[in-house]
Amino acid sequence: MNDTHQAWAFAQVDAFLDRCRPLTPWGRDEREARTVLDDPVELESRFDDTACVLRFLTEQAEDGIRLDKLAWHLKRMPRLPLASKDEYEIIELFQVKKFLANYRGAASCLDPELSERFGLSPDFSSLGADGPACATLAAELDRGGSDMETFYLADSYDPELGELRAALNRADAALRADREAYERSAEADHDLSFDGREFVVAPVDIARPLAAEPARYSLEPYDESRYVVRLLPSARALSLLEERERLGQRERELENRVIRRLSAMAAAALPGLKAAVTAITRLDRARTAAVLARDASLRRPVIDAVDSSMKEARFVPCEEECRSLGLAYTPLTASFQSGAIVLFGSNMGGKTVVLKTVLFFQLLAQAGYFVPAKEYRTRVYRGVEYVGEQSGERLAGLSGFGFEIHRFEKVWRGTEDVLVAFDELARTTSSHEAEALLSAIVEAYATGRIAGGQSSGPSRAFFATHFRGIARIPGAEYLRMRGLDRSAALECLDADTPLSERLAGINRHMRYEIVPDDPTDDAESDALAIAAMLGLDPRLTMKARRYLAGTGARP
């Protein structure tokens, strides 16, 4: 799939998918990658996955604990090393153990259908021939650690290690006892309490007598009236420290031997670990999509339709914005058959929102998500593109027109079988030339004569435009936004109505519906009515109407 970044941003897909919460690191990677797929088989499989988890969520809704537990295990999945090594770091062995523990935990939360579908089983049997190596590794790593996730190089990994650590612990205990005896002696003989401190700052009158015992106390001046006093280790303690040092070196050798052995086991289990990560990623992806589908009332899209249609399709970012402004939102119901769909409409009539809705639905579907509509039928395109200006975006050195042509050229020369939306193409140039250019591009898409290589299917282009003078090409569809119900809108406004109410009035009486465009219809433009409703001087509006009528032109 080509870079869909422009279309993705224009259609505000992130604004909707921000509510997605993948729980594993790999799920978050996928979410960040914004991958759009063009393989129908892969997409259908993802929809099946989502449907399967959605069924599970519904069935388990009353047993929240099981769902919480599944989420808990997924959330705790760490990244783990998936490259073969002779010797892993101890921290990497920990990651493998933690992953395996949570893999088993997650798998144990699933019902048989989910286990089967995603290839997840607590005993690793679903990994087939790679399962036993993972099971053996998990059992071995389980020997090190005080719970299912934590890890250390336990005594039990090597008989000599256990004996050696016992000796180390004895040395530590003897050192502590030695120190405590010295501390007690300092307190009894000199009224000097160390209380577990490595040193104390003692007044001169307490510190000076200690100088008589140089083998036991170390003194250094702190300031004019105080000394820093340290307890020196006894001869026995020095011997113990040496012994501890020697034991520590041997412990390190034995630990390295254990690490090498565990590393070999991890390397042998690597194919199984990779398969397990793939299965977990798939489950996380499906769970994320299913939770979104459940919470946002989404439906599975149909992706093998020739024509495209949508029933009560909600462009959620716009729906939410309308809600925050207290405005009504009208879901879109429409169908499209042609390779070129031209959409007319006045300002504020909703043309751009229709383009966004079309791309939003297509991108969601091809990213593997269910969609917010009663029904959405489409097919899979090899590319989803947008040609138009993004807010605040400019290409250095190019005018607005140059920028559009630059972007269109990239789409035109790129992949065929593309769904592309043009928003007000050539709006910054003269209307005469713009209409000529638009006509040529509409014709190219309507007749399927597109530049580039072999096509796996015809492209489909949507054009939102004000230019009503573009040619009526056979095979192209010409639609318009129904627009403003002027009489109803004007009735409810008077001269003193504040601007916010006027805007709300326009919104209330704007009919966000798509209807076939009649080229012979010369009814007045909504633009002048909207300008009047927004408070434009009536004398100017009247003059504009006279000009409009005098030229016979349509705005």
Partner 1 sequence: MLDSPDDYPGLVTFVTGPGKHCGKTTFMVRALELARRGLATRGETSGRAVGPAVLTVGYDGEARDWLSGARKPSIPVRPGDVFVTAERFLRSGGTCPEILDVVPGTTALGRLCIARATRDGTVALVGPEGNAAVAWTLDRLTEPCTGGGPTAGAILVDGAINRVTQAASWPGARMVYVMRVDRAGFERSVDLALRMGLLASLPVYTEPDSPGDRATAGTATGAAAGDKGATTGDRAEIEINAGDRPLSIDGVLTAETAARLPPRAAVIVVDDMTKVFLDWRELRAFIGARRLLVRRSIEFAGIVASCRGVSDAEFLSRLDGAPGLDGRVACNPYEAAA
Report d(CA 148, CA 98) in Å as an integer: 7
CA distances from 446 to 264, 339, 440, 442 (A): 62, 5, 10, 6
Instruction: Count the Cβ atoms, other than its own, within 10 Å of residue 398.
Output: 13
Smallest distance from partner 1 to CB 295, Å: 25
CB closer to partner 1, 146 vs 324: 146
- Does residue 94 belong to the site contacting partner 1 (CB under 8 A)? yes
- Does residue 147 belong to the site contacting partner 1 (CB under 8 A)? yes
Q: Which of residues 107-146 bind partner 1 (CB under 8 A)?
A: 145-146
- Does residue 91 belong to the site contacting partner 1 (CB under 8 A)? yes
Q: Give the one residue of 26, 88, 151, 408 binding partner 1; rule: CB under 8 A.
A: 151
- Does residue 152 belong to the site contacting partner 1 (CB under 8 A)? yes
Smallest distance from partner 1 to CB 171, Å: 10
Smallest distance from partner 1 to CB 296, Å: 27
Q: Which two tokens mark 436?
A: 């000529």
- Does residue 401 belong to the site contacting partner 1 (CB under 8 A)? no
Smallest distance from partner 1 to CB 172, Å: 5
Which helix H or strand E contains 387, and what residues bound it? strand 383-387
Report d(CA 430, CA 434) in Å as an integer: 6
Q: Which two tokens mark 353?
A: 């929102």
Q: Which of residues 69-88 bind partner 1 (CB under 8 A)?
A: 78
Q: What is the DSSP letter of 371?
A: B
Q: Which of residues 423-442 bind partner 1 (CB under 8 A)?
A: none
Smallest CA-to-CA distance from 157 within 104, 243, 103, 97 is with 97
Q: Are strands 332-336 and 304-313 parallel, antiparallel or unpaired?
A: antiparallel
Residue located via tokens 């751009």: 352
CB closer to partner 1, 183 vs 312: 183
Report d(CA 411, CA 5) in Å as an integer: 13
Q: Give the one residue of 153, 283, 426, 476 binding partner 1; rule: CB under 8 A.
A: 153
CB closer to partner 1, 78 vs 122: 78
- Sequence-distant (≥ 6) Cβ neighbours of residue 478 within 8 angstroms: 342, 344, 472, 516, 517, 519
Smallest distance from partner 1 to CB 251, Å: 8
For residue 156, the SS3 value is: helix
Report d(CA 513, CA 50) in Å as an integer: 32
Smallest CA-to-CA distance from 280 within 543, 27, 21, 5 is with 27
Q: Which of residues 249-308 bind partner 1 (CB under 8 A)?
A: 251-252, 255
Part in contact with partner 1 (CB under 8 A); list of ranges 126-134, 224-232, 426-434, 438-446: 224-232
Q: What is the DSSP letter of 320?
A: H
For residue 107, the Cα-to-chain-centroid distance in whole angstroms is: 23
**Angle 269-274-279 from CA coordinates, rounded to 5°:** 125
CB closer to partner 1, 196 vs 397: 196
Phi, psi of 26 (to 5 degrees): -75, -35
CB closer to partner 1, 172 vs 393: 172
C-beta separation of 476 from 448 below 8 A: no
CB closer to partner 1, 86 vs 496: 86
3-state secondary structure 15-52: HHHCCCCCCCHHHHHHHHHCCCCCCHHHHHHHHHHHHH
CB closer to partner 1, 40 vs 209: 209
Smallest distance from partner 1 to CB 245, Å: 9
Report d(CA 243, CA 473) in Å as an integer: 94
Report d(CA 356, CA 8) in Å as an integer: 9
Q: Give the one residue of 110, 133, 134, 229 binding partner 1; rule: CB under 8 A.
A: 229
CB closer to partner 1, 193 vs 456: 193
Q: Which of residues 235-254 bind partner 1 (CB under 8 A)?
A: 244, 248, 251-252
CB closer to partner 1, 100 vs 527: 100
CB closer to partner 1, 248 vs 555: 248
Compute the radius of gyration of the chain from its Cα atoms. 37
Q: Which of residues 157-216 bind partner 1 (CB under 8 A)?
A: 165, 168-169, 172, 175-176, 192-193, 196-203, 206
Total site size for partner 1, rule CB under 8 A: 43
Phi, psi of 162 (to 5 degrees): -60, -45
CB closer to partner 1, 183 vs 435: 183
- Does residue 408 belong to the site contacting partner 1 (CB under 8 A)? no
CB closer to partner 1, 149 vs 375: 149
Q: Give the one residue of 86, 223, 494, 521 binding partner 1; rule: CB under 8 A.
A: 223
Q: Which two tokens mark 125?
A: 């049997």
- Does residue 156 belong to the site contacting partner 1 (CB under 8 A)? no
CB closer to partner 1, 86 vs 494: 86
Site string for partner 1, 492-531 (x = CB under 8 A): ----------------------------------------
Smallest distance from partner 1 to CB 203, Å: 5
For residue 302, the SS3 value is: strand
Residue located via tokens 């809705």: 357
For partner 1, the binding residues (CB under 8 A) are: 78, 89-91, 94-95, 98, 145-153, 165, 168-169, 172, 175-176, 192-193, 196-203, 206, 222-225, 229, 244, 248, 251-252, 255
